[in-house]
Amino acid sequence: MSEIPQDLMYTREHEYLKKTGDAGVYQVGITDYAQGEVGDVVFVELPEPGATFDAMEPFGTIEAVKAVSDLHCPARGEVVEVNAALVDDPSLVNSDPYGAGWMIRLKVLDQDALSCLLDGAAYAAHVGEG
């Protein structure tokens, strides 16, 4: 069973949003389920701070032993920080996807659009664990 924290928001493409201490800013990464599916992560390509993306637009890629996959922006927003630790240790995505393995911090520009995301129970059902 994958770890699916109930206090996060999720996309159907397996990204999560986690509130930070800054208003309107969310930590974004891939879920525990997703990291288990892709296998050992060997490289993560992330945008520069200041980049803006529309909801579900690819913001980077994740390369694992099995495949290369796009990372989708969960909501329209601006990247305010990138997890530089992933450059030296992309395996943090596997070992701690909701903690040290986060990818970007996103200032969400359309808070109303967050209502389209899945809660923990809906995401668990989506991946067949609910």
Q: What is the pLDDT of residue 65?
A: 87
Q: What is the pLDDT of residue 1?
A: 83
Q: Is residue 100 part of a domain?
A: yes
What distance in Å separates the CA atoms of residue 74 and residue 113, rounded to the nearest whole number? 9
Q: Is residue 4 part of a domain?
A: no
The boundaries of the domain holding residue 91 are: 9-122
Q: Is residue 127 part of a domain?
A: no
Residue 61's beta-bridge partner residues? Answer: 45, 70
Asked if residue 26 has pLDDT above 90, the reply is: yes
Q: Is residue 128 part of a domain?
A: no
Q: Is residue 38 part of a domain?
A: yes
Nearest CA among 12, 11, 16, 1 for reference residue 93: 16
**pLDDT (tens digit, 9 = 90+) per residue, 49-75?**
999 999 999 999 999 988 899 999 999
**pLDDT (tens digit, 9 = 90+) per residue, 80-106?**
999 999 999 999 999 999 999 999 999
H or E element that contains 92? helix 92-95
Please state whether the predicted TM-score (pTM) of the whole model is above 0.85.
yes
Q: Kindly give the pairing relationship between strand 104-108 and strand 25-30.
A: antiparallel
Which pair of structure tokens corresponds to residue 70? 């796009």
Report how many domains make up the chain: 1
Task: Tell me the average pLDDT of the chain.
Answer: 96
**pLDDT (tens digit, 9 = 90+) per residue, 109-123?**
999 989 999 999 999
